[in-house]
Chain A
Amino acid sequence: MLSGSTPGARSVAPGEQSAPKTAPVRSRPRLVAIVGPPNSGKSTLFNRLTGLRQKVANYPGVTVEQRVGRVKFPGARGEVELIDLPGIYTLEPRSEDERVTCSVLRGEMPSVPKPDGVILILDSTNLARHLVLAAPILSLGLPTIIVLNMADALRERGGQIDVAALASQLGAPVALVSASKGEGLEPVYEFLTGQFGVPAPSELPVIHDVPRCREWAMRLGQRARYHPPAPPVWTRRLDALFLHPVYGVVIFAVVVVLVFQVIFSGAQPLMDAVDAFVQWSGQQLKASLPESAWRDLLLEAFWGGAGSVIVFLPQILLLFLFIGILEDSGYMARAALIADRTMARVGLQGKSFIPLLSAYACAVPAIMATRTIEDKRDRLATILIAPFMTCSARLPVYTLIIAAFLPNRPLLGPFLWTRTAAMLGLYVLGFLAAVATARLLKSSILKSEPIPFVLELPPYRWPTVQSLGLRLLDRARVFLRRVGTVILSVSVVLWLLAHLPLLEGRFPPIEQSLAGTLGRTIEPVIQPLGFNWKIGIGLISSLAAREVIVGTLGTIYGIQGDESSASLQAALRQDLSQAGAVALLVFYAFAMQCISTIAVVRRETGGWRWPAIQFVYMTGLAYISAFIAYQVVSWANG
């Protein structure tokens, strides 16, 4: 059925045969761009046409993701590359997404050749609004096929359209398809394999005049006997529940708790399993290799360093599974609607809510999840404040220091104990820093352009396994590539710092290593915070990941222990005053001590500029706050 060889529609093919594909001008495969409004099913069509043969990158210098893939033709072979462009409503380059789409279509994007053809995908159940986009796209003069998606929903809800009539009005092929079910795609394959014809629409409006464009689209709809479908009944019923003043809020709270629970506790067994596997394979490797410096490097930097980050993979995948279900089903838009009023108070919007919530587990997946925020300034603000949320990597550090310095006493009867209160206080501290930073950013450098908050509430749909699977695969690939590059290199560098220079052919004690020297060098800088050089080494080593400081301090004191080890706590009390301990907690609450986060921010923002600003800002804030905390507590303690 999908052979793509319907004889009638292939009448253009002979022309193609006379100009064979081996013509010397074409050294690269043809490039076809998929364009369409948000929620029209662009990515579904892209996934349907390319399958797993796709790769994701960022456009240089911007936060917009670039997805390119090879078309998988059923049966026949062909060389066509597809590029999935950001969703747009118009071709006026106002937002960053629209700028990227416009430059690619006009051949002005440096890294992308000008497309040879365009697939314009529109939602057939929403044609009154979506058909307007055909005007600016057709006036580009590129070979275009108009794909009307959601044919199944149109049919089920009693709508109809005369595809042939619309095609003759637009002067371009039109296909009525269901991208999610894969039906009606033959004309799309024919378009991709056949000769590309330039569209010849019977009329085009002045594309900058919105009402004229709408009239044009409406006229076209009438001539194509477009009959809009009945409203989605189930969506109405579900919205009455999910947006109910009482039940809606309760369901929202349940979903939030569920997400939190899954990424915090639900992921734990899987993370333990990965951890156990990393440990076990490390042991196997250790046993099978002769003792040497190389073995230590391999085990400690590769297995110990990068391996400790791999452990987060299950958590990241579970979070994205959740986000995928919420997004594909349509609930995410409702959640954003409910959260919007609260988020608006700090200058953000509803869509920032889920990423910020997941930042309590780990800032890395949270920052990856900000992709759902279309407004680039809101997205950037969310990325910049996410690392202030108390992530799980801070917990071992907090636990160690609180346990070492704060006796556990009942504070509010049996309900609240001092240590719990201190931990809660640190959560609040991070949250307040995030809110204050959001306000600061949104009232200054990231003040939103006058783009109003508009949220489209798509009909509810069942998420498909294929779409969820591709999403998870994609995120896993992105994460593993980063572990294999940035995080691995940093782990190796930190390991070398702790093991060089060699003393008489042996590794030095950590005090005499480069890291130790560095710790001593920065001692004058961190002394005003009440830290000595040992804490300094800890700070440097925890750049890899915050919790590494616990192990490093153990190494320095010659104690094999974790955060609950009493001897490590005792050793720490020798080196840190109470005021210094408070300062260290404050420092960890604010500082961006995490290479993975820096790497993911660089990737998501398309350059070093934002991670650099963020690092300087957070470290500066951490330093100043820790300084104030140290001075105040020292003074209060006399």
Chain B
Amino acid sequence: MQLSFKKHPAAALVPTTSLADLLPGRQAVIVELDLPGELATRLMTLGFVPGNTVALVRTAPGGDPLVFRVDGAELALRRDTAQQIRIDSESISPLEEP
């Protein structure tokens, strides 16, 4: 049942890339969580939901984990987790700093 909302309705139609490939200072829209149900639900609770915009703010020294801005909060994920999250490649844009 949970599989049905891990994916954005437009998932099949857009070219996607991995969230781990996002450059610092860029943001993009999440399309799909390519993770087992439990994990996906966990991350969705924290804001990594298909349709939501996330930005890569910076990486930890050494390049891993990655620090994302989601719903105004900053959350760090390991690179291998971020690799399982697909983003819409056409939605990638620079993060506007207020």
Contact = CB atoms under 8 A, between A and B. Distances in A.
Give the most central of A229, A230, A245: most B CB within 10 Å.
A245
Contacts of A214: 49, 52
B12 interface: no
A228 B44 CA distance: 20
A457 B38 contact: no
A135 to B, nearest CB: 11
Interface residues on A, range: 35 or more
A129 B5 contact: no
Given A94-B38, A126-B73, A231-B72, A453 B65 contact: yes
Interface string A22-47: 00000000000000000000000000
A450 to B, nearest CB: 5
B78 A453 contact: yes
Interface in A418-475: 449-457
Interface in B43-62: 43-47, 49-52, 57-58, 60-62
B65 A210 contact: no
Contacts of A230: 98
B71 A128 contact: yes
B42 A129 contact: no
A412 interface: no
B44 A210 contact: yes
A249 interface: yes
A132 B45 CA distance: 8
A243 interface: yes
A304 interface: no
Contacts of B98: 230-231
B79 to A, nearest CB: 9
A344 interface: yes
Contact of B41 (A210, A231, A244): A210
Interface in A224-278: 228-231, 239-240, 243-246, 248-249, 252
Interface in B30-88: 35-36, 38-39, 41-47, 49-52, 57-58, 60-62, 64-65, 67, 70-78, 81
B61 A243 contact: yes
A245 B61 contact: yes
A90 to B, nearest CB: 5
Contacts, number: 108
A240 B75 CA distance: 15
A89 B46 contact: yes
A211 B51 contact: yes
A120 to B, nearest CB: 16
Nearest to B48: A454
Nearest to B36: A450
Contacts of A457: 67, 73-76
A108 interface: no
Contact of A244 (B45, B51, B61): B61
Contact of A211 (B5, B65, B72): B5
A228 B77 contact: no
A458 to B, nearest CB: 8
Contacts of A337: 60, 65, 67, 76
A288 B73 CA distance: 64
A453 B35 CA distance: 14
A6 to B, nearest CB: 32
Contacts of A450: 36, 38-39
Contacts of B72: 125-126, 128-129, 228-229, 231
A243 B81 contact: no
A211 B44 contact: yes
Interface residues on B, range: 35 or more
Contacts of B70: 129
Contacts of A341: 60, 62, 64-65
Nearest to B51: A211
A239 B74 CA distance: 11
Contacts of B47: 128-129
Contacts of A96: none
A340 B38 contact: no
Interface in B5-47: 5, 35-36, 38-39, 41-47
Nearest to A228: B72
Contacts of B77: 452-454
A243 B60 contact: yes
Contact of A129 (B60, B71, B76): B71
B46 to A, nearest CB: 6
A230 B96 CA distance: 12
Nearest to A209: B5
Give the most central of B49, B51, B52, B72: most A CB within 10 Å.
B72
A454 B46 contact: yes
B74 A454 contact: no
A338 interface: yes
A94 B42 contact: yes
A341 B76 CA distance: 12
A239 B65 CA distance: 14
Nearest to B78: A453
A92 interface: yes
A451 B45 contact: no
A211 B57 CA distance: 24
Given A210-B5, A210-B41, A340 B60 contact: yes
Give the most central of A89, A211, A246, A451: most B CB within 10 Å.
A211
Nearest to A342: B62
Contacts of A248: 61
Contacts of B49: 210-211, 214
Contacts of B76: 337, 340, 453-457
A19 B67 CA distance: 54
Nearest to B58: A243
Contact of A340 (B5, B65, B75): B65
Contacts of A244: 61
A211 B47 CA distance: 9
Contacts of B43: 452, 454
A214 B71 CA distance: 11
A410 B39 CA distance: 56
A337 B59 CA distance: 9
Contacts of B73: 126, 129, 456-457
4 closest A-B pairs by CB: A128-B71, A455-B76, A457-B74, A210-B44
Given A211-B5, A457-B73, 18 more contacts: A210-B44, A210-B49, A214-B49, A243-B60, A252-B61, A337-B65, A338-B61, A340-B76, A340-B78, A341-B64, A344-B78, A452-B35, A452-B39, A453-B81, A454-B76, A455-B76, A457-B74, A457-B75
14 contacts: A90-B45, A94-B42, A126-B71, A211-B49, A230-B98, A252-B61, A340-B76, A341-B64, A451-B38, A451-B39, A452-B35, A452-B39, A455-B65, A455-B75
